[in-house]
A and B are shown apart, each in its own frame.
Chain A
Amino acid sequence: MPGVLTHIEACIPALRRYAAALLRNREDADDLVHDCLVRALDKLDTRRDEADVRPWLFAIMHNLFISQLRRARSRPSSESLDETHEAAMSVHADQESGLNWRDLLRGLNQLPVEQRTVILLVSVEDLSYAEAARVLDIPVGTVMSRLARGRERLRQITEDGEVRPALRRVK
């Protein structure tokens, strides 16, 4: 039991990052992580295997995120690509990759949420395809095809500057 708790605790920074990247708001993200932890503690008694604590937590949070998304869709949102998010991230340009992080994030946010989640879980959170499939409750093949489509689209956006018109509209 203490072992599982240690594993859960170790996952909290990654959960925050994933939630913040999806929700584009630090406060909302931490609320989501909080709900996720509370839910995880609810179910803790039945947990035994420490190895898959990480995908298990991401799955709980993903389900919370999806139901939150459904609720949000039923009411209009005026929120655009928020500058505050970028400021809160205090991110720096990535010189080595040569990619402009601003364009990269804007491009990421243009992708359908189904592709964004896969890209984040695999590229950033280091989940295996099988783990990502479990988190999103979809077949592994679907994870791979969404990843391929999402990355290719993101490449086109960042390389061809397709993000620009959207950027002008926001400003």
Chain B
Amino acid sequence: MNDPGRPISEEDLHALVDDQLDRELRPHVAHYVQENPDVARRVAAYRNQREALRSVLAPLAAGPLPPRLDLQKLIQQRLVQRRTPWRAAAAVLLAFVLGGAGGWFLHIGAPTPTLSITLLSEQAVANHMVYTADKRRPTELGADQRDDLARWVSNRLNHKVAPPDLAADGYSYIGGRLAATPDGPAGLFMYDDKQGVRLTVFVLPLSGAENSPMQHVESAKVDGVAWIDKGIGYTVVGKLSQEELKRVAEQVRQQLGVT
């Protein structure tokens, strides 16, 4: 019998139990165990312990997986997020909004807001707040450059769009601008009534977003109506009554929906 060249250690005993002992060492350790009843008793106890733990804990690995551990579902969720980054952004935003941690405190009046409606209205409200507050220069191009603005915005949005005419509803066109969002450029058209109350029409392409019917959107400062049609998100925002917002939104949809 070859000498292992060193004393047999506690670790060797456990390696024997786990069947992870070097092949050359095995006979030596086994012999040592045989020769020492106390050691043999302990090794038997370790084996028992090992087997008992395995059988006691085995049920924890059994049973159907809960849905949140379904790997296929997890992968699908990721693919959706990758294909449409705005969806992931909207998920974060939704948590933020519903958590009431600050921001504009959006509350959607419809049953359950889709993520895209939430994102769209958040952007529309943010831009409305920033630009309508500007007394001297609320727009990039004024009412006299309506056609220039239409061309500019249409080019940047890669979608033909022109400021709708809301004169029949008592709102005259002031001008418009290009707005920035996490999902790319948006068009912002601004109007006011005789009292100087301003409203904005916000147009944001959301490729891949599903159609969504008109929904009333509330924030701490201002309300709106949002909808998505053929991959384009629209929002009308202003300090107007719900009925009036709805009426203006219908007008906008009639003029912008048909291109």
Contact = CB atoms under 8 A, between A and B. Distances in A.
B57 interface: yes
B68 interface: yes
A89 to B, nearest CB: 6
Contacts of A90: 59
A154 B10 contact: no
B13 interface: yes
B221 interface: no
Majority-rule SS of B interface residues: helix
A91 interface: yes
Q: How large is the interface on A (under 10, 10 to 19, 20 to 34, 35 or more residues)?
A: 35 or more
B46 A155 contact: yes
Interface in B102-128: none
Interface string B38-51: 00001001101111
A147 interface: yes
Interface stretch (A48-56, A65-73, A75-83, A93-101): A93-101
B247 interface: no
B55 A5 contact: no
Interface in A117-171: 119-120, 122-124, 128-129, 144-145, 147-148, 151-152, 154-155, 158-159
A69 B256 CA distance: 56
A97 to B, nearest CB: 4
A169 B53 CA distance: 24
Nearest to A155: B45
Contact of A148 (B11, B57, B58, B59): B11
Given A14-B61, A90-B59, A144-B11, A37 B71 contact: yes
Contacts of A152: 10, 42
B61 A17 contact: yes
Given A16-B60, A94-B51, A155-B42, A145 B69 contact: no
Interface string A8-49: 110011101100110000100010011001100100000000
B74 interface: yes
Interface of B: 10-11, 13-15, 18, 20, 42, 45-46, 48-62, 65-66, 68-69, 71, 74-75, 78
13 contacts: A21-B60, A34-B74, A90-B59, A91-B57, A94-B56, A97-B51, A123-B18, A123-B54, A124-B53, A129-B15, A144-B11, A144-B15, A155-B49
**Lowest 7 A-B CB distances belong to which pairs?**
A17-B60, A17-B61, A13-B61, A97-B52, A144-B11, A148-B10, A97-B48
